[in-house]
Amino acid sequence: MEEQKLPHVPTPPFYFAWHPARWQCVGGRWLPLLKTVRLDLGVGGVDKEGDHTLARLDDEKRGWHWLPWDIDGDPYIREWPCVGGSYHCTRWETPRQVGGMPVQPTVDEKGWHEFLARLVDRGIVPLPDQSVADLLVDNQRHRVEHVAAESHKPGVLPILEREQARLAEMRAAK
């Protein structure tokens, strides 16, 4: 019996990377805002054989730090067979299909945030420098001011309230 394959388009494997200046405030905590480094053959410093040494070195020059797949014990990347190859996603995503068509995956946001918190708690990703936190709070304050100036328009008040709550959360986390 043939293995069931997802109807998804194949995607390359990837790494997560963190940067000292990229943070988000979630649930009153500063958590790293990771980027995804796709290992597309022949693109962005990945050679046609899949060697990603140059891509990693280029990122390191810019302050990025790649996280090994097994940084948390259980690898954060999953591979699913799909038509034409493999579909790669995080362990917090479950690919879905409806009627043979791919749809948005189910995402375990709580598990994702717990993973990010463990990276900080274990010292893998150090907490942001105070100047970074100050800058992020200041940027959010400007965002609130900008939205407040538009609050007379229909539908903007809920956005303003959400942005104000985010600012208060960020200030408390600082």
pLDDT tens readout for residues 50-94: 888 899 999 999 999 999 999 999 999 999 999 899 999 999 999
pLDDT band, residue 47 (cuts 50/70/90): confident
pLDDT at 41: 84
DSSP single-letter state for residue 22 = -
Q: Taking residues 2-31, what's their average pLDDT?
A: 92
- The candidate with the shortest Cα–Cα distance to 139, out of 56, 10, 33, 13, is 33
Share of the chain above pLDDT 90, in %: 75
pLDDT at 70: 95
The residues pairing with 35 across neighbouring beta strands, listed in sequence order, are: 17
What CA–CA distance (Å, rounded) separates 52 from 15? 10
What CA–CA distance (Å, rounded) separates 169 from 158? 17
Q: Is pLDDT at 174 greater than 90 in this prediction? A: no
pLDDT band, residue 26 (cuts 50/70/90): very high
Q: Taking residues 141-157, what's their average pLDDT?
A: 91
Looking up tokens 């990229």 gives 22
pLDDT band, residue 3 (cuts 50/70/90): low
> pTM of the predicted model, to two decimals?
0.85
Both tokens assigned to 23: 């943070």
Both tokens assigned to 120: 């900080």
